[in-house]
A and B are shown apart, each in its own frame.
Chain A
Amino acid sequence: DTGVSQDPRHKITKRGQNVTFRCDPISEHNRLYWYRQTLGQGPEFLTYFQNEAQLEKSRLLSDRFSAERPKGSFSTLEIQRTEQGDSAMYLCASSLYLGMKAFFGQGTRLTVV
Chain B
Amino acid sequence: GAVVSQHPSWVICKSGTSVKIECRSLDFQATTMFWYRQFPKQSLMLMATSNEGSKATYEQGVEKDKFLINHASLTLSTLTVTSAHPEDSSFYICSAAPPGAEQYFGPGTRLTVT
Q: Do A and B come from one complex?
A: no
